[in-house]
Structure 1
Amino acid sequence: TIDSEFEIGNIKRIEDIYKDEWRDLVKDTIDVLDEHKKIVLARKRLVMFDKNINIPYILQKASQGEHNSYLFVLESQDSIFFSQTPEQLMEVNNGILSTKAVAGTIKRTHQDEVDKENIQAFLNDDKNLNEHRFVVESILNDIAPYVRDITFNETPQILTNDHLYHLYTKIKGQLENDSYIGLLDNLHPTPALGGYPKAEAIEYIEQNEFGTRGLYGAPVGYI
């Protein structure tokens, strides 16, 4: 247990970077979309505390919640990047590629009857199902040159986290060879982070989004 004296402290300031420009960009982006397109925009928020941020405390608190998420920390000189995500870009074990399409999200209320009704509606919601389908189709296309004997569940399943429910599809296949760096490059980013069609969405983001995303959504793992 981490002592309470190491708690995170109080927030001194919150500022959304490029707030007005962001709103204009969202409006402009909606105008170029149709039911066959998806663009995922990212924005920055500055949060300042009245004392130094204690990373172990944050990690402990994070690990107590979203048990179906991946939690990691990267430290470089004076900068620290940490993330908690339900998405697994890829895993390779004994020549078998495993990946997940995670897209489509609703809140979890922790009220059993309410959540049960919400999940049922969620599984039949065209908007979320279409968003999920974009990601599944993109991943299947991206891995096709590198993998054979691909299997996946035809109907999305529910991934349960502490505060959210996600639609997800497990995808597996046999790697054609032992090298998968090209596959990794082909997969990232999935439409869950970029959009669909992927090349078109990425080009739009690069031309219109404010500033670099840095490590946001970047592949992190062991090779």
Structure 2
Amino acid sequence: MNDVCRGLIDTQAEHLLAGYRSENPFFFATPEHTLLAQGQHATVPQAKNLAALSQVVDAVLKKARDQGHPNPIVVGAIPFDARQAACLCIPQQVLYAGPLSRRAEAVSPRAGAFTITPQPAPQVYADGVAEAVENIRNKRLSKVVLARTLELAAAEAIDVQCLLERLARRNTHGYTFAVDLAGTGQGTLIGASPELLLSRRGLQVRSNPLAGSAARATDAMEDARRSQALLTSAKDLHEHKVVADAVARGLRPYCRTLDVPASPALIHTEAMWHLSSDIRGELAHPQASSLQLASSLHPTPAVCGYPNEKAFELISQIEAFDRGFYAGMVGWCDAQGNGEWVVTLRCAKVKGRSMRLFAGAGVVAESEPESELAETAAKFRTMLNALGLAPEGVL
């Protein structure tokens, strides 16, 4: 692509980002393109589980086409617990452009702009990790992901559009999103996820599971040391293998071919290093939509654990809050079955003057409570940096 075309695409993407408002149902930026949904043609009725939801979405898309909608797609978010209500709709229209350019600007520190309350308290979270490790060592399960939250309160309404722009500028290698949780009374779901759950383009499918993480360092030599330590960490390699194997198992029944890397690679965000497996395949049949494929993987051991049922049960026992849309999936699916769904990570719910941030860490037999606590603190930095906050002492 020549520079003139690239400049045109970048300009169009800038306009979509600048044009976002919190009442828009959906914004989605990836390394390849930018989407902005406007208006609402129809809402997607609730379903009892993900299999039923895929069927409902297919029916709603068909009805929209029959009604003359020129390009119906479903957009929105699905909770961690798929028994809870999803927030999906068909917009009146979706505007498309190429990728956003990275123009991250330093955000001035805002001391005192927010009050921050960890939920649960850091020591309570560490105690929960210790409880999980005991369960794992007693062979009840091999991995569980435990999360915690930060409750932020501001003196004035939080500027969602400004926050989205800052996240998008710093996350051009990942997936930045905003979903209007209209009808739920929960405000806006906003985030900058590094993890692609599932994309489908024609017969080509891709998943990029991440598991095994290390915080970035400001010193270049220390940052490089941490990345290499992660790449050779037996604990993190085991944690990653559990996730990559589960994703491969979930996709194989649908695929004619599936390419799974023998070992993970390193990727990074502004705040974290991650172990990454780029899994690609070709569908055996075109009937499986991106939502159906993503639903077959959700929730992966990267956000729940393994075995899934036992991990889900332990999360319910230890975590004293409802994850809601955190660790769910957010994305889109069109009438041809193409689409993208990412894991709802590095995210927050914003409503008026309040925000709730979420972060989790994978716990295995070798986990140390203080290390997992530190990992969640590092993951909070994605959102805190965009807000101009660096409250290390309270995390």
TM-score interval for Structure 1 and Structure 2 normalised by the shorter chain:
0.7 to 0.9
**Pairing 1:29-108 to 2, within 5 Å after superposition:** 29-34=132-137, 37-77=142-182, 79-108=187-216
TM-score by length of structure 2 reads 0.51
Matched, 1:174 2:282: yes
Counterpart pick for 1:16 among 105, 118, 127: 118
CA distance in structure 2 between the partners assigned to 1:204 and 1:109 by the alignment: 32
CA distance in structure 2 between the partners assigned to 1:179 and 1:156 by the alignment: 27
Residues 129-178 of structure 1, C-alpha deviations (whole Å, 9 max, x = no match): 11111111111111122223110221211112222211101001122322
Q: In terms of mean alpha carbon deviation, does 34-43 or 181-190 score higher?
A: 34-43
Name stretches of at least 5 consecutive residues in structure 1 with no aligned partner. Answer: none
Name the residue aligned to 1:197. 307
Residues 1-35 of structure 1, C-alpha deviations (whole Å, 9 max, x = no match): 99xxxx98843422223436545433321210139
Letter in 2 for 1:17: Q
Q: In terms of mean alpha carbon deviation, does 89-98 or 146-155 score higher?
A: 146-155
> Structure 1 124/95 Cα, relative in aligned 2: closer, same or farther at 3 Å?
same
CA distance in structure 2 between the partners assigned to 1:182 and 1:61 by the alignment: 32
CA distance in structure 1 between the partners assigned to 2:268 and 2:294 by the alignment: 26
Residues 87-122 of structure 1, C-alpha deviations (whole Å, 9 max, x = no match): 011000111110011111112224333333322222
Letter in 1 for 2:311: A
Cα contact 1:100–1:168 (8 A) shared by 2: yes
Letter in 1 for 2:294: L
Over aligned residues, Cα RMSD in angstroms? 2.5
CA distance in structure 2 between the partners assigned to 1:216 and 1:68 by the alignment: 21
Cα contact 1:9–1:51 (8 A) shared by 2: no
Name the residue aligned to 2:129. 26
Letter in 2 for 1:200: K
Matched, 1:162 2:265: no
CA distance in structure 1 between the partners assigned to 2:321 and 2:265 by the alignment: 35
Cα contact 2:248–2:260 (8 A) shared by 1: no
CA distance in structure 1 between the partners assigned to 2:251 and 2:164 by the alignment: 33
> Structure 1 202/51 Cα, relative in aligned 2: closer, same or farther at 3 Å?
same
Counterpart pick for 2:320 among 194, 210, 215: 210
Residues 40-78 of structure 1, C-alpha deviations (whole Å, 9 max, x = no match): 012232110111100111112212323322110011345
TM-score by length of structure 1 reads 0.87
Cα contact 2:251–2:293 (8 A) shared by 1: yes
CA distance in structure 2 between the partners assigned to 1:45 and 1:141 by the alignment: 34
Percent of counterpart pairs with the same letter?
26
Q: In terms of mean alpha carbon deviation, does 68-77 or 127-136 score higher?
A: 68-77
* Secondary structure of residue in 1 paired with 2:161: helix
CA distance in structure 2 between the partners assigned to 1:204 and 1:27 by the alignment: 12
Larger Rg: 2
* Secondary structure of residue in 2 paired with 1:212: coil
Cα contact 1:67–1:161 (8 A) shared by 2: no
Letter in 2 for 1:73: A
Cα contact 1:8–1:58 (8 A) shared by 2: no
CA distance in structure 1 between the partners assigned to 2:215 and 2:120 by the alignment: 27
Name stretches of at least 5 consecutive residues in structure 2 with no aligned partner. Answer: 1-13, 19-108, 334-395
> Structure 1 92/41 Cα, relative in aligned 2: closer, same or farther at 3 Å?
same
CA distance in structure 1 between the partners assigned to 2:114 and 2:230 by the alignment: 38
Cα contact 1:13–1:48 (8 A) shared by 2: yes
CA distance in structure 1 between the partners assigned to 2:114 and 2:161 by the alignment: 21
CA distance in structure 2 between the partners assigned to 1:200 and 1:161 by the alignment: 31
Cα contact 2:168–2:176 (8 A) shared by 1: yes
